[in-house]
Structure 1
Amino acid sequence: MPWTQRPPWVLIRSLRAIMASASEPQAKLDSIVKVIASNMIAEVSSIYVRLPDESLELFATEGLKKEAVHALRMNKGEGLVGLIADWGQPINLPDAQKHPSFSYKPETGEENYHSFLGVPIVRERRTIGVLTVQNKIERRYTTEEVEALETTAMVLAELIGSGAFAGAVSHSPGRRETSVTIKGTPLADGLALGHIALHEPRPVVLKFFADNIPAELKRLEDALERLKDDIKRHLEHEDSPQDSEHQAVLEAVQMLANDKGWARRMRDAVMAGLTAEAAVERVQQNMRTQLMKVGDDFWRERSHDIDDLSTRLLRTLQGQETHVERLPNDAILVARNMGAAELLSYDPRKLRGLVIEEGGATSHVSIVARSFNLAVLVQVPDVLSIADHGDPAILDAATGQFHVRPSLELIRAYADKARFRARRQARFSKLRHVQAITKDGERILLNMNAGLTVDLPHLYQSGADGIGLYRTELQFMVASRFPKMEEQRKTYNRILDMAGGRRVIFRSLDVGGDKVLPYLRRVKEENPALGWRAIRMSLDRPALFRTQARALMRAAAGRELSLMLPFIADVSELLGAKALIDKEVEHAKKHSHELPSEMRVGVMVEIPAILYQLDQILPLVDFISVGSNDLLQFLFAADRENDRVARRFDPLHSSALKVLREIAAKAVAHKTEFALCGEMAGRPVDAMALLGLGFRSISMAPASVGPIKAMVLSLDTKKLGETLNGLVDGNCPTIRRELTEFARKENIDI
């Protein structure tokens, strides 16, 4: 233990006595900073409170000049205190004055102090203040000291956030009426009009200090067991699709719930004098802080899983039921974060959209939300401080806007837009059973992209001809461990059964980059999108690839199997993968396993280097599919996730179209099937250009099949080809305007 710091229970006992006293709030703060300084052998202890204008005011101090209290204010982001408030994470420095963000305030008299420890004061996951300690000697505070200060900050959060201090940030506003529009990042297109349903508001911890430690330990142990039993029941429920991604998500939650380290930390917190609820919240904040420090998207997402599980445990401790069954029929679900398992517990028929304050494209919940065909916005700042349960709202994922409590005029405008979309959708639905044949008799295959078994009903609802891209990696991403061969086989078998004889093209495992598997050791890469991913990983880990190939062959026994290899950059990679597939064929024969009736192997054309090897590659494969998203971003060196450059280059740039035309011509010359999957395929004008270049098979999101089919039925490809080739041979940054004008003149439905 550092210096002569007292045990944690001594500090907690002192804080408990102060909080229970009849003193005024300011007197309590003054007493608390004295206790902290004494307990931690610190010469300075200070409390800063965040004000509505985002500045931070010194509310109490032990060690700094008393005249600075309520006189010193730090602007947003100013100094180390401002940095802690903005980051929401502790800062621990042996010499604060050497830090570039240090801001010297002469009125405080802090020039003699070097070591610095500051932690955020967080209430309802929002930073409402900062708690600091300082010493003259240069030293780094220990983990025990950081945790002690964070425990104190948790107690302060309730005192400050209760509204006891005039001018402090309040987080318990009354009913609001003002219309607000918030900008977010769209993950799935769509338009939703409905009412806000707050996703399981986090239970409030009202009591922090234990009266009876053994009783609190028993409450914690009982709640943990009930939580584990509840997850186990969900896993064993007869309605749960066995070996599906639902099962995998729940298994990941179960693994976290069974983590002995998580339970041990909570027990230790109770032994230090906290209630079971306070211990859960304390450990959750600690783990979240540690995971957010990693600077890795995967571990940041896992911090959301910890939040999810902690909330479940708090509800179990407090005997609270979930609100899943009390959803309105037009619910727009709003959450700070949520786990995929929780979204799966909602009735998708009642959901219109999903808005997440944090989150990201790689989170498990975003994968499930897209499968539910929801309009989705993530990274929507402060939405939970703005929205109330039951508020009317409009989610426009096309523009990335979330309108809370919209005006009557805005509701009317969007209602007209929604009715127009509904009429269009009804028209497209009538085309479900109509084949996509152009006016000049060309049969066009319109396939859909998928990645989860919950996507499969869209195959029939959309009228798609088949699945042009099945992303097998999504099953792996929602699992807590590498799925065993038999688990994979059952999933692939179910997909083929649900497809009902329509062709399914399985893409082999494409992980790496932003698609992370927690159970595979990772090496930090400067540019993971161009690093160790997809086929490169498969060839370096042949056992993983062979296990998947074996599972696919077993699932497709007696049926056609189409396997597509991603991220091929050189013919040698194709030959290496085919050699591994051949070994699995021999293994199946040796053990008398039935083989697929036809084994088709193809490659995804997405790396520019492969364009100059098509004459060598095409004779070796049964089909190719152009991955337009990656191919175009590599062609233009423009990251499609970077807003500054993503729209700088149009897919209808003449250079891009020349590349696509050349691919089509090569495939025709070698009599090899060719297709394209990507965002281009789902946009009518872009898809029209693809057909003019010779593509007769394209794959897209299920929602795009109807609009593209309507375009195909009104198109004459011969007329289009004559016009298009002349445009492509020019050197234009885009031919979109010319194609749109052509469509208008020819009455093509775009």
Structure 2
Amino acid sequence: MRDSAGGPRVLLRRLRELMAEALDPQERLDHIVREIAQNMVAEVCSLYVLRADSMLELYATEGLNPGAVHLAQLRLGQGLVGTIAASARPLNLSDAQKHPAFTYLPETGEEVYHSFLGVPVLRAGRTLGVLVVQNRTMRHYREDEIEALETVAMVIAEMIATGDLARLTRPGIELDLSRPVSMTGLPFNEGVGLGHVVLHEPRIVVTALFNEDSDVELDRLETALDSLRLSIDDMLSRRDVAFEGEHRAVLEAYRMFANDRGWVRRLQEAINNGLTAEAAVEKVQSDMRARMMHMTDPYLRERMSDFDDLANRLLRQLMGRGPDALAEILPKDAIIVARSMGAAELLDYPRQKLRGLVLEEGAPTSHIVIVARAIGLPTVGQVKGAVSMSENGDAIIVDGEDGQVHLRPQGDVEEAYAEKVRFRARRQKLYQELRDRPTETRDGVPVDLMMNAGLAVDLPQLAQSGAAGIGLFRTELQFMVAAAFPRVEAQERLYREVLEAADGKPVTFRTIDIGGDKVLPYFKGAQHEENPALGWRAIRLTLDRPGLLRTQIRALLKAAGGRELRMMLPMVTEVSEVRQARDIIDREVRHLSRFGYLLPTRLKLGAMIEVPALLWQLEELMQAVDFVSVGSNDLFQFVTATDRGNTRIAERFDPLSVPFLRILRQIVRAGDQYGTPVTLCGELAGRPISAMALLGVGFRSISMAPAAIGPVKAMLCELPLSDLSVVMEEALANHSASTDIRALLRDFANKHSIAL
């Protein structure tokens, strides 16, 4: 190259002119490879594009036999070009023919060329092709020449991504960017969704690639970096880190990257070579991602997503965009694809347009999954690579039953799933026909099937599902979606709306359960905790901040005037906490009575059994409250010392194990002994097989997501409960805790023709 700075800038300026000219795609490619060869004083410049069948096809060349264009091809991993594509790393060779991967293609006439420089054509870390220059003389290409070729490759990647080159493909051949991809994850919520991709953190499309003034772009980069560093420092100093979804270790990694001199130097070099600041970030991000994807060290590969997020933040700073991840215009059949997201973020999307959710992370009992289940959204988690493989608008199918995700599916796959959706619709119709039947077992035992809710938009499902009432109303969701603490009037309005929609059916309001992983952004009392699930949360927090609890209780009392009010305290550890809460309630009752407010006709106070310590206080607890509800998610988490958000162990232990079912039976029996109603409102109630286990150990009231009521009721109506109770009693009396309860229940269901 003629000089280390002018060369790349001259080349990019010429490419910009070529991109603006009215040329057909092949003519434009031919001009581009010719310009690259001239600028780099190379005798050959060739572009290979990766097809959907994993073949690299020669799309344009200057210097090789032009008759080989669209005929010469190499498999991914074959030859020097295939090796570059497979590894996403450049190759710089002074004598290419001596490299062990060299493959001779006689139709190209390249045998006379010795020196070889090839770079991958990358976009978002994905290899879309390979760009090569060659010379007859033996030489190593300089670092600035490699950098220049990588920069040009980024421009070509955008051409491929826009679909310009698709017109050059032969019938039946597709480029890799459009090939169908099937991925497997974990099924988090059943159902099938067909629609189009909406990236929760949309990939920012850089349209201004070439700079007019490098000094101006360098100043813009420095300003954006300063702003980025300040924002990270601010997040680390604030006490609402958990709400932001950024664990402290991740933010520390962000700060390390943001101050990394090597990263900044690469950004500056890309700008000096003629790119805008945005294009420089895009290029360096793509290069870094491609290299990290091929690292064997799992820790370094985990840092890949940290780096992606940081680069996207920097792009937003440069392009003046806010952090709001919600797409301005959603398709009517949106399927959200995200690495991870908070429950409140999902609720930001218009629900009528959502058809599914795909997560690269997540666990079955994480709060985002609970919310997705509550709104009936087919959800698949642990789908590695989903974000980088997807583009906004791609057709996608989410199978929440089998954990399959099909991106850009072929027609036959799409039709098969469309039929599956039609079958599910027919099955839902059968559930609707069951809605008005008495909810009792085959042998006449009545069971209350309640639904879980958390927002006003959940209320129509009370009538649609045929639920006996709302067994758990999560009041904290109103707080999580608000920009500030909801005033007492807003809370009262919501609670009254819920009670009116229930139309006399029982509603159990759980008092605000914040803290831990549900810290509100506007709540300044929170602080970083090593073990947030075991920390300052729920009743512990509200007893320490009684003003918060008093405000909510006052709103509940006023909303329930003339009706029965059921309140439930979360995360109770000691019975004394119930007594403290009752004192606060009594004071609020006296206050409202003094001012002549209409009070509830009856007030029932309950407690959630989530903390194992209560298992040794059941006698006192049953006498101190009017009802109890088992929060099976947290109780199981604490009993087994299993972080439900840790994907490595989230599936390690089974809640339908003999030890855990014995605990649940112990709670039911204590309730029976003291005449205290017992229900269960965790995710365990929402599947027919686990609901069957709960009925078998004595539960007669369970609460679940509205969509689960139909399948559970269909099972229940066919269930001979007295026979099941005998089978379960024998299994739990067996001193071998290794009994496979799931297999036992399936055998029982098959014997009695019960659909699970």
TM class by shorter chain equals 0.5 to 0.7
SS at match of 1:505: strand
| Kept after mapping to 2: 8 A contact 1:128/1:169 | no
Which residue is 2:582 aligned to? 578
- Percent identity over the alignment is 43
1:746 aligns with 2:752: yes
Q: Displacement, 1:701? A: 1.2
Q: Which amino acid aligns with 2:463?
A: Y
1:483 aligns with 2:486: yes
Which residue is 1:192 aligned to? 193
Which residue is 1:377 aligned to? 380
The alpha-carbon distance between structure 1 residues 213 and 163, as it changes in their structure 2 partners (threshold 3 A), is closer
SS at match of 2:156: coil
1:446 aligns with 2:449: yes
Which residue is 1:493 aligned to? 496
1:688 corresponds, among 683, 686, 692, to 692
Partner deviation per Cα, 1:469-497 (whole Å, 9 max, x = no partner): 11122222223333232232222222223
2:86 corresponds, among 53, 57, 66, to 53
Equivalence map 1:422-441=2 (5 Å): 422-441=425-444
Q: Distance in 1 between matches of 2:199 and 2:629?
A: 42
Q: Which amino acid aligns with 1:395?
A: V
Q: Which amino acid aligns with 1:652?
A: L
Q: Which amino acid aligns with 1:719?
A: D
2:398 corresponds, among 392, 395, 398, to 395
1:206 corresponds, among 199, 205, 208, to 208
Q: Displacement, 1:598? A: 1.9
Which residue is 2:13 aligned to? 20
Q: Distance in 1 between matches of 2:490 and 2:467?
A: 27
2:613 corresponds, among 609, 615, 629, to 609
Q: Distance in 1 between matches of 2:567 and 2:576?
A: 18
Q: Which amino acid aligns with 1:743?
A: A
Q: Which amino acid aligns with 1:559?
A: R
The alpha-carbon distance between structure 1 residues 426 and 543, as it changes in their structure 2 partners (threshold 3 A), is same
Partner deviation per Cα, 1:304-361 (whole Å, 9 max, x = no partner): 9979987996699xxxx95536x4xx55455678999997787655543233567899
Q: Displacement, 1:448? A: 0.9
Equivalence map 1:78-227=2 (5 Å): 126=125, 159-163=152-156, 174=166, 176=175, 178-184=179-185, 186-194=187-195, 202-206=204-208, 209=211
Q: Distance in 1 between matches of 2:409 and 2:127?
A: 29
SS at match of 1:575: helix
Q: Displacement, 1:621? A: 0.8
User: Normalization by structure 1: what TM-score?
Assistant: 0.64
2:538 corresponds, among 531, 534, 537, to 534
Q: Distance in 1 between matches of 2:411 and 2:319?
A: 38
Which residue is 1:715 aligned to? 719
2:593 corresponds, among 584, 589, 592, to 589
Partner deviation per Cα, 1:404-436 (whole Å, 9 max, x = no partner): 244566556545544443332211111122230
Q: Displacement, 1:635? A: 2.2
Which residue is 1:421 aligned to? 424
Which residue is 1:502 aligned to? 505
Q: Displacement, 1:197? A: 6.4
The alpha-carbon distance between structure 1 residues 639 and 388, as it changes in their structure 2 partners (threshold 3 A), is closer
1:468 aligns with 2:459: no
| Kept after mapping to 2: 8 A contact 1:337/1:359 | yes
SS at match of 1:163: helix
User: Normalization by structure 2: what TM-score?
Assistant: 0.63
The alpha-carbon distance between structure 1 residues 334 and 737, as it changes in their structure 2 partners (threshold 3 A), is closer
Q: Distance in 1 between matches of 2:696 and 2:624?
A: 27
Q: Distance in 2 between matches of 1:162 and 1:555?
A: 61
Q: Distance in 2 between matches of 1:338 and 1:474?
A: 15
Q: Displacement, 1:379? A: 5.5
Q: Which stretch shifts more, 643-652 or 361-370?
A: 361-370
Q: Displacement, 1:122? A: 13
Q: Which stretch shifts more, 181-190 or 20-29?
A: 20-29
Q: Distance in 2 between matches of 1:530 and 1:160?
A: 50
| Kept after mapping to 2: 8 A contact 1:446/1:464 | yes
Q: Distance in 2 between matches of 1:546 and 1:572?
A: 18
Q: Which stretch shifts more, 712-721 or 444-453?
A: 712-721
Q: Which amino acid aligns with 2:715?
A: M
Which residue is 1:545 aligned to? 549
| Kept after mapping to 1: 8 A contact 2:363/2:645 | no
Q: Distance in 2 between matches of 1:124 and 1:621?
A: 60
| Kept after mapping to 1: 8 A contact 2:363/2:646 | no
Q: Which stretch shifts more, 346-355 or 330-339?
A: 330-339
Partner deviation per Cα, 1:154-198 (whole Å, 9 max, x = no partner): 9998644113899x9999984546432123455433222455567
2:330 corresponds, among 312, 321, 324, to 324
| Kept after mapping to 2: 8 A contact 1:301/1:359 | no
| Kept after mapping to 1: 8 A contact 2:189/2:379 | yes
Unaligned runs of 5+ in 2: 16-33, 42-82, 100-119, 129-145, 167-173, 220-242, 245-270, 289-299
The alpha-carbon distance between structure 1 residues 363 and 210, as it changes in their structure 2 partners (threshold 3 A), is farther
Which residue is 1:134 aligned to? none
| Kept after mapping to 2: 8 A contact 1:336/1:357 | yes
Q: Which amino acid aligns with 2:85?
A: P
| Kept after mapping to 2: 8 A contact 1:161/1:170 | no
1:649 aligns with 2:650: no
Q: Distance in 2 between matches of 1:161 and 1:719?
A: 68
1:516 corresponds, among 515, 519, 524, to 519
The alpha-carbon distance between structure 1 residues 342 and 667, as it changes in their structure 2 partners (threshold 3 A), is closer
Q: Displacement, 1:593? A: 3.0
Partner deviation per Cα, 1:625-654 (whole Å, 9 max, x = no partner): 011122223223333444544444332322
SS at match of 2:656: coil
Partner deviation per Cα, 1:508-546 (whole Å, 9 max, x = no partner): 122233223222343332222222221111122222222
Partner deviation per Cα, 1:686-726 (whole Å, 9 max, x = no partner): 21222232211100111110111112222232233233222
Which residue is 1:237 aligned to? none
Which residue is 1:79 aligned to? none
Q: Which amino acid aligns with 1:744?
A: N
**Highest Rg: 1 or 2?**
2
The alpha-carbon distance between structure 1 residues 68 and 478, as it changes in their structure 2 partners (threshold 3 A), is farther
| Kept after mapping to 1: 8 A contact 2:196/2:394 | yes
Equivalence map 1:657-676=2 (5 Å): 657-676=661-680
Q: Displacement, 1:211? A: 8.3
Unaligned runs of 5+ in 1: 1-11, 31-49, 60-65, 73-120, 130-152, 218-247, 250-272
Which protein has greater RCO, CA pairs closer than 8 Å, 6+ apart?
2
Q: Distance in 1 between matches of 2:497 and 2:631?
A: 26
Which residue is 1:735 aligned to? 741
SS at match of 2:183: strand
The alpha-carbon distance between structure 1 residues 683 and 324, as it changes in their structure 2 partners (threshold 3 A), is closer
Q: Distance in 1 between matches of 2:620 and 2:692?
A: 29
The alpha-carbon distance between structure 1 residues 359 and 301, as it changes in their structure 2 partners (threshold 3 A), is farther
